Amino acid sequence: MIPQMQPWFDQKEAQALYQYILSSGWLTEHTKTREFEKAVADYVGSQYCFAVPNGTQALFLALKALGIGHGDEVLVPDFTMAATANAVVMAGGTPVFVDVGDDLCMDIGSVDRKVTKKTQAFVYVSLNGRASNLRAWREFANDYSLYFIEDAAQSLGSRYRGQHLGTFGDVGIFSFSAPKIVSCGQGGAVVTNIDWIAKKIRSLKDFGRERPGADHYLSIGYNFKFTDLQAVVGIEQMKKLPDRVERKKDIFRLYHKLLCDVPEIEFISTDLKDVAPWFMDILVPNPDKLAEHLKEKGIGTRRFYPALHSEPAYSLVGDYPKSEYAARFGLWLPSLCQLSDSAIVQICTAVREFYGA
């Protein structure tokens, strides 16, 4: 069976964990976490990086640090992983869904009419490592005095005009969950270049303390500490990231080459100079039937996310044609970095056979 996704660990992580356990560390967040945070900050080019238990909590912390709470509206894309909107609800705010564009990211053309007096921030999700109009998004933030949060959970290794994603907003987040390009099993990070936001996040993730270890509490805070066990794995994963970024690009290139002449298959325009596509995405007329055919051949796939507004969790009505289009026709093909070229040929042969191409 070829899975759609699979994390990738080897002797490097095993040895590092073994050494760490023998070093009498306390397992909780300490020097290894600082080392991991520095590796992420250096790689993406941010001044500050805070490791947290997962990407959802990273989003929650970012929102909390910016003071988002009851009565505040936050613009989010309708097509995204549910955590983007759920974190707004967790923080006490109200997500307001905005349709996406052809790149499956929040559409700058649909956003002005969603702004109300209550709007405080927006979360731009660079879905699958793609982004566009980031200068216009900055202007939008300035025009309406909104905070610009970047959910770059899928974008480690991806850039926009050479600058790493997650560093365009006031604050950005990453995820190191099992399917992400760098995995700690669970994990997340908040990045920022703004001193006061960094200070708030450092305190909020440590019970609201003024200083680590000092029992003086500036605000209601949480225990969102990382563990050095995860950091040890993350440090090894970060060393592998540059190769993985190249592999993701090669995988996309090969899929595109082998499938671009099949008329039923629609690709999303992708600039591989900047983008390391996390998942191999296609839009097809009958994704469930194609998925079934591939499953019979031992090939795993995953349907795109649903249009979030219409899920029972939100049950909203509204006009989100692009989001609904993506949800209806999208399919993710096997995208694991360890996928061989011959496996991609095998997958594409099975896809072509389905369409009689």
Chain positions contacting ligand PLP, by CB under 6 A = 54-56, 80-81, 83-84, 125, 151, 153-154, 175, 177, 188
Q: How far is the CB of 56 from ligand PLP (least distance, A)?
A: 3
Among residues 357, 349, 225, the alpha carbon closest in space to that of 298 is found at 349
Q: How far is the CB of 175 from ligand PLP (least distance, A)?
A: 3
Kindly tell me which of 164 and 209 has the beta carbon lying closer to ligand PLP.
Answer: 164
CA distance 175 to 158: 14
Q: How many C-beta neighbours within 10 Å does residue 58 have?
A: 32
Residue nearest ligand PLP by beta-carbon distance: 55
Q: How far is the CB of 120 from ligand PLP (least distance, A)?
A: 19
Among residues 248, 242, 243, 234, the alpha carbon closest in space to that of 128 is found at 248
Kindly tell me which of 150 and 274 has the beta carbon lying closer to ligand PLP.
Answer: 150
Q: How many C-beta neighbours within 10 Å does residue 200 have?
A: 23
Q: How far is the CB of 93 from ligand PLP (least distance, A)?
A: 16
How far lies 285's CA from each of 104, 209, 268, 321, 329, in Å?
17, 54, 15, 16, 6
* Start-to-end CA span in the chain (Å): 23
Q: How far is the CB of 203 from ligand PLP (least distance, A)?
A: 21
**309's tokens:** 């507004």
Q: How many C-beta neighbours within 10 Å does residue 254 have?
A: 17
Longest dimension (CA), the chain: 69
Kindly tell me which of 154 and 270 has the beta carbon lying closer to ligand PLP.
Answer: 154
Q: How far is the CB of 59 from ligand PLP (least distance, A)?
A: 6
Kindly tell me which of 84 and 133 has the beta carbon lying closer to ligand PLP.
Answer: 84
- Chain centroid to Cα 228, Å, comes to 22
Q: How far is the CB of 99 from ligand PLP (least distance, A)?
A: 17
Kindly tell me which of 157 and 259 has the beta carbon lying closer to ligand PLP.
Answer: 157
Q: How far is the CB of 176 from ligand PLP (least distance, A)?
A: 7
Helices marked H in the chain — which ranges? Answer: 11-22, 31-44, 55-65, 83-90, 134-144, 195-204, 228-259, 287-296, 321-329, 341-354
Kindly tell me which of 147 and 354 has the beta carbon lying closer to ligand PLP.
Answer: 147
DSSP string for residues in 109-146: GGSGGG--TTEEEEEEE-GGG----HHHHHHHHHHHT-
Kindly tell me which of 159 and 209 has the beta carbon lying closer to ligand PLP.
Answer: 159
Kindly tell me which of 278 and 354 has the beta carbon lying closer to ligand PLP.
Answer: 278
